[in-house]
Structure 1
Amino acid sequence: MIYFTSDTHFGDSRVLRIDRRPFLNMGAHDAALIDYWNETVGADDDVWHLGDFISPRAGPSEDLLCRLNGRKHLIIGNNDPSSTMTARGWESVQHYAELRIDSNLLILCHYAFRTWNQMGKKSINLHGHSHGRLKPQPRQFDVGVDVLDFRPVTLETILTARRIFPRSARLVAPVRKTGI
């Protein structure tokens, strides 16, 4: 399987305030996101992380990468330090990628695009960065954890979410504080 996620911000306490993530503290936040990732992703799966993986304050990226299931690919985000980009544990690291899944051409970047390659031929732009606050264009999806239940998701889940919730791809239940 191939999964997508973004904006995990491991170890970055700003996300608890700014994004109102429903965790009592960063320890609970990070533990929950690790558990959700590993419940979802198997050892032989691929995960495309579309940026803002971990805060330098959280420790070496390698320590976290080895705890997460799957083959991991990083699309660099604005908060990814060079130590994250050069960490062992990534299968690939780049600012932009194009990926084909079945008949779908996916355009991957940390940032949402106004236009993108083969947009007129129904390609799909997957992005992070906006934490669910940006109104998407057709065939454009925010794959950040704030939007998609704090876990990596498949393309099928992303496309289904838009059909179920046409004004937003948001799958997250109402915010509640938890000490997970």
Structure 2
Amino acid sequence: MAVFFTSDTHFGHAGALGRFRRPFASVAAMDEAMVAAWNATVSPGDEVWHLGDFALRTGPDAMAALLDRLNGTKHLIAGNNDGPPTLALPGWASVGHYAEIRAEDTHLVLCHYPFRTWNGMYKGALNLHGHSHGALKPMPRQIDVGVDVWGFRPVRLAELAAPRRRKAAATAAAP
């Protein structure tokens, strides 16, 4: 089982096209491209931590159907655009606002929002976050896992920890 991270998919959100300069002709095209990229990357037996802002302007039934189409066991760390219907979706293995986990022998602090300080930051812990859509200059050991940074797909820790390759990977993977 591999562990992946992502954030800020904004499924169903027309405003994401212009505001975040997403290269899609329509919301439907964006949503389908992200589902395809997710499923090409994540196997059904993998685990995915979604660090917030899953979908906007999408009803609960449509969100549940969308979540069901995505491979893997999915955990949600709530973002500012994740309301009660998103948090209540039956497809989440867990829902919270913050988590600390170990993956690939690394202590990870997960939140939708980037931190200035976090537990274990001086002992090798990484802060994985979303919210900033690649616009925030990161601190050491702090990584934006949002789809706008990573080619509209979830990413593994090994890829996240290779900062020199981030921009090239995002550019190569963009639809």
TM-score higher than 0.5 here? Answer: yes
* Amino acid of the structure 1 residue aligned with 2:10: H
| 1:145-156 equivalence runs, <5 A | 145-156=147-158
Q: Unpaired segments of 5 or more residues in structure 2? A: none
CA pair 98-173 structure 1, distance change in 2 beyond 3 A: same
Please show how residues 1-180 of structure 1 align to structure 2 within 5 Å.
1-57=2-58, 60=61, 61-160=63-162, 162-164=163-165, 171-173=169-171
Structure with the largest fraction of helix: 2
Q: Distance in 1 between matches of 2:150 and 2:128?
A: 12
Structure-2 separation of matches of 1:171 and 1:82? 34
In the comparison of the two structures, how many residue pairs are matched? 172
Q: Given that residues 148 and 170 in structure 1 are in contact (C-alpha distance below 8 angstroms), is that contact kept between their aligned partners in structure 2?
A: no
CA-to-aligned-CA distance 1:78-117 (integer Å, 9 cap, x gap): 0011100011000000000001123310000000000000
Runs (4+) of structure 1 exceeding 4 A deviation are none
Shift of 1:56: 3.4
For residue 57 of structure 1, report the CA deviation from its aligned partner.
Answer: 2.8
Give identity over the alignment, percent.
Answer: 52
**Quick one: which amino acid aligns to residue 87 of structure 2?**
M
Distance 2:7 2:168 in 1: 14
Counterpart CA distance in 2 for 1:113 and 1:152 is 21
Structure 1 unmatched runs, 5+: none
Bigger shift: 52-61 or 131-140? 52-61
